[in-house]
Amino acid sequence: MMTIYQKTKFVKQRASDLGFFQVGISKAEYMEDEAQRMEQWLDQHRHGTMNYLERYFDKRLDPTKLVPGAKSVISLMYNYYPDEYISEDSKLKISRYALGEDYHQVIKKKLRLLLEDMRQMIGEISGRCFVDSAPVLERDWARRSGLGWIGKNTLLIHPKAGSYFFLAELIIDLELEYDAPIKDYCGTCRRCIDACPTKAIDETGYVMDGSKCISYLTIEHKGKIPNSFEDKMEGWIFGCDICQEVCPWNRFAQPHTEPAFEPSEALLRMSPHDWQEITEEVFRKLFSKSPIKRTKFTGLKRNINFVSYDDKQTD
């Protein structure tokens, strides 16, 4: 019969074997403080047209509504920082997380393996795997689990590795040893606040106006991008990494070792002209396994046309 300590040690070691950078565990309980903050954020309409964030409010805050009898939330980090990135000469940019295959599938497969291995080693466990596709406040659970603090740019920051990580969760009905949160090390730094071209980050930090975020505008937002954002997109056609690029903690970022996240040579070679002349056939071929397919061809073309470096930008 394994002790709680032995079970916890097994979970963390097996997760590491599967390629997860770090694992933290917190008690599955109602998130009272987070509930107040989220309700205020929604009331201020900072979620733009992401109306799905208003749904399943209770499930986002109470893990036992997702997994009856839940006792532990296991939070995991998976590195996606690339060794190679699109050339600065391209001027048109996509977020680093989207260079390779869709992370949802890659990581969820590993989570299922981890859960199955836990069942084989520990015994019957009821639980579910989550990778950014269900009503789970992943950054808050990761913070509670000691994987980092939520920075002024509202992203989870690990003190030894930065923020270029996917987050994932296992919510299970197994009691484990719980980790404690760590302190916030943002201090007086405000580089992310000052660098954001659309002023999406609140002047005091820690609050993001999603309706102004370039990632939202190029991925979540449907229809025409408001003219008020002209000349503010800085070449981003899918997502945005500006608040991560300027964050001092990302000087510790190390390249990932996940083959599925490696960008194709064709993608790395894309010139501004290639982007502007991209056809639906090329789009389907280039992004068949990519998170970029989420925008669909028409959405990507909208973004490219909106941020393209036309004559007035090159004069």
| Chain segment 43-96, per-residue pLDDT in tens | 777 777 776 676 667 788 899 999 999 999 999 999 999 998 876 667 899 999
Instruction: Select from 161, 157, 123, 120 the least CA-distant residue to 142.
Output: 157
Burial of 36 by CB count in 10 Å (0-12 exposed, 13-18 middle, 19+ buried)?
Answer: exposed
| Chain segment 261-277, per-residue pLDDT in tens | 999 999 988 888 999 99
pLDDT confidence of residue 208: 93
* Phi and psi at residue 56, to the nearest 5°: 55, 40
* Phi and psi at residue 122, to the nearest 5°: -100, -35
One-letter-per-residue 3-state SS of 38-67: HHHHHHCCCCCCCHHHHCCHHHHHCHHHCC
Q: pLDDT > 90: what percent of the chain?
A: 81
Instruction: Select from 14, 91, 27, 46 the least CA-distant residue to 210.
Output: 46
Residue 261 amino acid letter? F
Burial of 9 by CB count in 10 Å (0-12 exposed, 13-18 middle, 19+ buried)?
Answer: middle
As annotated, the active-site residues are 132
For 107, residues 6+ apart whose C-beta sits below 8 A from its C-beta are 78, 131, 166, 168
pLDDT confidence of residue 87: 66
Q: Residues 201, 245, 259, 92: is their CA dihedral positive or negative?
A: positive
Q: What is the pTM of this model?
A: 0.93
240 CB neighbour count, 10 Å cutoff: 26
- Greater pLDDT, 222 or 44: 222
3-state SS, residue 299: helix
